[in-house]
Amino acid sequence: EVQLVESGGGLVQPGGSLKLSCAASGFTFSDSTIHWVRQASGKGLEWVGRIRREAKNYATAYAASVKGRFTISRDDSKSTAYLQMNSLTTEDTAVYYCTGGAATGIDYWGQGTLVTVSS
């Protein structure tokens, strides 16, 4: 069974940092691009960024709204991807999903983890 499990969400003050994890199983993680997507409460989906596989030099790309503040990384030995989030603002409050898969990069989705930025 394919699983993507996000963790690390929680309440953080504006200007703070948080690191999310995405643990994968049931598919060949190392062959997969991993994306992060977020969804504010009652709103639509927003792409955050992605990291490619080793053969593509672990290339990353980010949305303009997070570039320079967020960093995506991965540890293929642990089948885990990460989203390091710095300089958080209230606008970053959302459920954060990781998604991956060798076919399209968005084959499988986790259940999400809630990040709340508030004082």
Residues that bind another protein (CB under 8 A): 35, 37, 44-47, 50, 61-64, 97, 99, 101, 103-112
Minimum CB distance to another protein, residue 119 (Å): 28
Rg (the chain; Cα; Å): 13
Minimum CB distance to another protein, residue 91 (Å): 16
Output 29 or 62, the one with its CB closest to another protein: 62
Minimum CB distance to another protein, residue 77 (Å): 26
Output 16 or 93, the one with its CB closest to another protein: 93
Minimum CB distance to another protein, residue 67 (Å): 10
Output 71 or 109, the one with its CB closest to another protein: 109
- Which of 24, 34, 8, 4 lies closest to 116 in space, CA to CA? 8
Rounded to an integer, what distance in angstroms lies between the CA atom of residue 10 and that of residue 29? 26
